[in-house]
Amino acid sequence: MKNTVITALGIIGGFVVSMLGGWSSALATLIVFMAVDYLTGLIAAGVFKKSPKTASGALNSGVGFKGIFKKIGILFVVMLAYRLDITANTNFVKNSVIIAYIANEFLSITENLALMGIYMPSAVKKAIDVLQRDKKGDENNENFN
């Protein structure tokens, strides 16, 4: 039974990674940043009770699941970017998308760390302010059509 489960997980993992364009350092970095962002968000809400996503600032399972599905959505965009690279016979769309998401995850991580009271240099604070303004603008213009 154990071997069957391990084999099945290996097959599923191999398929997912192949759909994302193969295992690369950029993809590994994105996944690490996504995991750290999720964990720092859990710590900010669970330990420090300072989540801006809930009224009480505490953990909320619905918000947590929403965060997981957003991360899955990011991986879908990476997959689509990879397919665009294949279609256009290029090699930069996927990497550009990954770099953009890494930058976004980095800003989210630093925001979570700031919520925990960890010192942030002023340049990072300004970048977070810009990102928050951009997100509010995106929320007001959710339709791309």
pLDDT in tens, 44-91: 999 999 988 888 889 899 999 999 999 999 999 999 999 999 999 998
| Rg of the chain over all Cα atoms, to the nearest angstrom | 18
> How many other CB atoms are there within 10 angstroms of residue 15's CB atom?
10
**3-class DSSP state for residue 54?**
coil
pTM exceeds 0.85, yes or no: no
Asked whether the beta carbons of 114 and 128 are under 8 A apart, the reply is yes
Give yes or no for residue 141 having a pLDDT over 70.
no
Rounded distance between C-alpha atoms, residue 60 and residue 45, angstroms: 8
Banded pLDDT at 135 (limits 50, 70, 90)? low
Rounded distance between C-alpha atoms, residue 39 and residue 109, angstroms: 9
Banded pLDDT at 7 (limits 50, 70, 90)? very high
**What is the reported pLDDT for 57?**
87
More confident residue, 24 or 142: 24
Rounded distance between C-alpha atoms, residue 131 and residue 60, angstroms: 23
78 half-sphere exposure, CB direction, 13 A CA radius: 26
- Measured at the CA of 14, the angle between CA 10 and CA 18, to 5 degrees, comes to 175
User: Residue range 109-116: average pLDDT?
Assistant: 91
Residues whose CB falls within 8 Å of the CB of residue 95, separated by 6 or more in sequence, listed in order:
26
Asked whether the beta carbons of 41 and 112 are under 8 A apart, the reply is yes
